[in-house]
Amino acid sequence: MPATEEDPKVADAIRSFLAVPVGQSVAEPLMATVNASTHALPPLRITPWANLHLTLVFLGAVPQRVLDDQVIPRVGELLADARPGRIHFRQVAGFPDPGSPRHLVLEGYASPTIETLQRTLREGLAETLGHSRQEQQWRPHITVAHFRDRKPRPITATPWQAELPVAEVCLYASEQGLHGPVYRVRERWPLAQEPDEADATET
């Protein structure tokens, strides 16, 4: 039974997403740059370091039983042959529209294996979750801050190059904390195979 046939407001529904964790080698210089640049930006609510992630598939509010009995086993099946890869970041920019941004993000593009991985997860979970199978553009990014103003001024993108190795996929649960949402890892799937030749030689 698709997850959407459940009442999304049931007590045990968990706001969930599949994502790549952001390691210290990317997070530390990224957040140092953002913190040092706040004077030149509209008012921001900076993402706590522990909440940094790169979303692959947003699942929505999913009942606990559906997560345990359907989603987690299905993700394991979909990732059985998945290969590691990387995200190539190129700039810090306003998102989703630089002219009227809601978030400040580090954005870039994925290597071929990660493009395939994301598409496999999205399409493979569509029936389980009752999501549309319609093709959607995935824009890999890490949200580093949210603009406090509803209509902040346009943001000029700033070049910022880095690479994020993708060696595991995590299932995150969003919980409401004292100062905002807290993202906790509920399940991990390591990508143990070697990256393919195209990823290994890509520059």
pLDDT in tens, 85-114: 999 999 999 999 989 999 999 999 999 999
Task: Give the pLDDT of residue 169.
Answer: 98
Asked if residue 153 has pLDDT above 90, the reply is no
Instruction: Check 39, 131, 141, 146 and give the catalytic one.
Output: 141
The residue from 53, 103, 146, 179 that is catalytic is: 53
Percentage of the chain lying above the pLDDT 90 cut: 73
* Alpha-carbon span 62 to 3, nearest angstrom: 6
Nearest Cα to Cα of residue 107 among 122, 99, 96, 119:
96
Mean pLDDT of 63-81: 96
Backbone angles phi, psi at 94, to 5 degrees: -75, 150
For the chain, domains (ranges, CATH) are: 3-194 (3.90.1140.10)
Active site residue 141: yes
- Look-up: residue for tokens 């290969």? 83
Q: What is the pTM of this model?
A: 0.87
- pLDDT at position 179: 74
Residue 36 confidence (pLDDT) above 80: yes
Average pLDDT of the chain?
A: 88
Neighbours of 156 (CB within 10 A): 10
Active site residue 103: no
